[in-house]
Structure 1
């Protein structure tokens, strides 16, 4: 039941990252730089509200014994705002269209954060066992990768189902928003399971009532937990790397592989191997430790992304093979850090007390948002710098060679360099299995 929430996580993370910038530049005629700024502005809003939601979720847990209220609110609100994001017609003009998309996407982001921040906090409260957390998050990633495949392939397919791209985007927004909301609503029930397991947190003192106190609680968590700083830094760099590839995928399909529909095959190549290999990463983590398995996955992704630069000179179907290798690594990049985060939280509880998981996950979700937002920004800046030509739906243009090169670089060398940098921050993560087992034995 917990894992089904990743149907919402995968859908929300995949479709906007995959098609929103493209929707703005190639359907509404918004300039590439402006499109990137719109996506970034919405993500900055996420960064501002996520720590507040995390601290508020901790207060809700202390007051009611459950984090479910925020999760249900987000699940019910998201479908409407998600559909509105893609409901803007080109006839409104680039300026009005851009403003409308921005407002709808801000509301969508708020609804998603209301669900996601408490959702990420739950594993630390559902089980205290080192390996059980890996299995729990492993199943979540199986659903997540399946959702990425469903939305990454199915979303563009819905968009292209008819001859009218305006109705196609609207259909995609409505259907995808409903699917995301249903998954989130089902997963919200696991908050009550966590509440029963941690009944002692209900009735705890309610603190951090002001905005300033809520932000400061997050900074205090960063300051006192060295493992959290190392893991968060690694995760943000990797979110930036994968966000860059995600935002560039549609452009690679259209202008490198010369088929707008090829984005579906790119996603199948990425997510198919990830779906199949998640259990293998779980087994490797059990044998070697999560941090070592995480480093192996990061190195493999770095190598696979770097090979894609060859597409500057010889584009072709071989790109799918490199993407598939990245997909094998991607399964580990998704499951392992999420399984390490509950370890960090439980380790901190040893000195700071329970009931603060939302504070950690608020900062974590904000960091992830920063990474994905800057990924889209990096792609839009690359497009603007290399002379990418924006257009409206139905119009035909030919991109300059420099723009094609920029698209390939943003899909290969840039994410590879960011992923390599994340290996340096990962080296500073010092929690090991014996540290978590020691905490669990004290709780027993």
Structure 2
């Protein structure tokens, strides 16, 4: 049964900043495992590339089942803090500890099993935070323009978090002397970002209004079927997941590309900074595009920039680091839009569905969304690990070893043409997205 709806109060700057803080934590967990975990397994623990790819993939695949369940349960949660913040607190407390444990295990025969189990637990804690966190914007404001502003703050924080974690994590590994000690020091520093960002969001959104929402759907399988039938959501999700697969492949390829293609292992930090650094600067530009041309147009344009820049990275070679960095900056400009626009479009779809259906199922939509996004980002490293294994990539326990020409070629294409083709494949799907189709009944 539906309840009455209060008028939506405006969000203050404090809520914008408080909500955005959570993305520093989600950025850290979404970036560092995809960037370093595969390489840590193959080139530090000596795990075969194929098995390492499976270890990175399997815990994230678990989220495909877990996250929709978390979404449904948070939809049905009744608490004086609102339906989302208790879940966010639980995830924010557990994840930092579990993340350190991922990099604190043994070497040798038990290494892969330790990482798989601890990473599974960490992914579970992450889902407890991420799913309700993504659901919040549809519930704290009814104004689509304000959601765009909220998302621009969030994506700016996301870019900052990715920059701090992605560029900082390899630097901490090097500063701590490399090896397993260096990776453990890195995990501790990332844990600080996780705790600060996620717990900061719990505190920062305590004054955010929770607009009175209608009754939760409550039935997980039924709402999953409904989510699949909502055409704008289905198209947006499909395109976003394909793009996440491309981005995940590129992120996992950074340390391999720096060493095998550019011949400079330390270039990985520069590559990552060039990828995510532009996001902070160009976010106001993409926000202006959203207001003038629409979010869908902005998403298509930013994706096209990513495709062009990523494909050109196939030109990488020793001595071409400057050219590669310039191309990665272009990729980063596109990547910023690819992050911002879907996150701004999702709350619009959720709110339109809720207005038409009379039921609260934001958690189900965001549970499906985060599960699919996580799966896409996990398949990327898994796919790269599989391709490296087929190409004969030689794992090691800390010392660089000579690779086969096929492995070198796989690293080159896995960082350039493969991500470009995957993002290119998403464009026809995203071009069909029309929220106007959902204005009266989005189903």
TM-score strictly above 0.5 = yes
Residue 122 of structure 1 pairs with residue 136 of structure 2: yes
Residue 425 of structure 1 pairs with residue 429 of structure 2: yes
In 2 relative to 1, CA 237–187 (structure 1 residues): closer, same or farther, beyond 3 Å? same
In the TM superposition, 1:202-351 aligns within 5 A as: 205=215, 208=218, 213-223=219-229, 225-311=230-316, 315-351=320-356
TM-score, normalized by length of structure 2?
0.92
* Residue aligning to 1:2: 19
In 2 relative to 1, CA 106–280 (structure 1 residues): closer, same or farther, beyond 3 Å? same
Structure 1 unpaired stretches of 5+: 440-444
In 2 relative to 1, CA 330–360 (structure 1 residues): closer, same or farther, beyond 3 Å? same
Residue 80 of structure 1 pairs with residue 97 of structure 2: yes
* Residue aligning to 1:197: 210
* Residue aligning to 1:33: 50
Instruction: Please give the secondary structure, in 2, of the residue aligned with 1:197.
Output: coil
Q: Is the 8 A contact 1:61 1:67 kept in 2?
A: no
* Residue aligning to 2:83: 66
Distance in 2 between residues matched to 1:163 and 1:239, nearest whole Å: 32
* Residue aligning to 1:106: 120
Residue 12 of structure 1 pairs with residue 32 of structure 2: no
1:8-42 deviations in Å (ceiling 9; x for gaps): 11100111000000000000000000000001111
- Give the counterpart of 1:380 among 374, 385, 388: 385
Aligned length: 424
* Residue aligning to 1:23: 40
- Give the counterpart of 2:190 among 168, 172, 176: 176
Structure 1 runs of 4+ aligned residues shifted over 6 Å read none
Distance in 1 between residues matched to 2:28 and 2:285, nearest whole Å: 24
Instruction: Please give the secondary structure, in 2, of the residue aligned with 1:189.
Output: helix
Distance in 2 between residues matched to 1:321 and 1:312, nearest whole Å: 14
In 2 relative to 1, CA 302–53 (structure 1 residues): closer, same or farther, beyond 3 Å? same
Q: Is the 8 A contact 2:261 2:318 kept in 1?
A: no
Instruction: Please give the secondary structure, in 1, of the residue aligned with 2:226.
Output: helix
| Aligned-residue CA RMSD (Å) | 1.9
- Return the offset for 1:317: 2.9
Residue 401 of structure 1 pairs with residue 405 of structure 2: yes
Structure 2 unpaired stretches of 5+: 1-17
- Give the counterpart of 2:166 among 133, 152, 164: 152
Distance in 2 between residues matched to 1:239 and 1:304, nearest whole Å: 16
In 2 relative to 1, CA 84–173 (structure 1 residues): closer, same or farther, beyond 3 Å? same
Q: Is the 8 A contact 2:163 2:273 kept in 1?
A: yes
Distance in 2 between residues matched to 1:216 and 1:313, nearest whole Å: 54
Q: Is the 8 A contact 1:52 1:215 kept in 2?
A: no
- Return the offset for 1:278: 0.7
- Give the counterpart of 1:358 among 335, 360, 363: 363
- Return the offset for 1:177: 1.1
Distance in 1 between residues matched to 2:368 and 2:78, nearest whole Å: 17
In 2 relative to 1, CA 177–11 (structure 1 residues): closer, same or farther, beyond 3 Å? same
1:296-325 deviations in Å (ceiling 9; x for gaps): 011111111111112269854311111100
Distance in 2 between residues matched to 1:5 and 1:422, nearest whole Å: 27
Q: Is the 8 A contact 2:232 2:349 kept in 1?
A: yes
1:37-65 deviations in Å (ceiling 9; x for gaps): 00111111111100000001101158973
Q: Is the 8 A contact 1:75 1:185 kept in 2?
A: yes
Distance in 1 between residues matched to 2:319 and 2:357, nearest whole Å: 56
* Residue aligning to 1:442: none
Q: Is the 8 A contact 2:216 2:359 kept in 1?
A: no
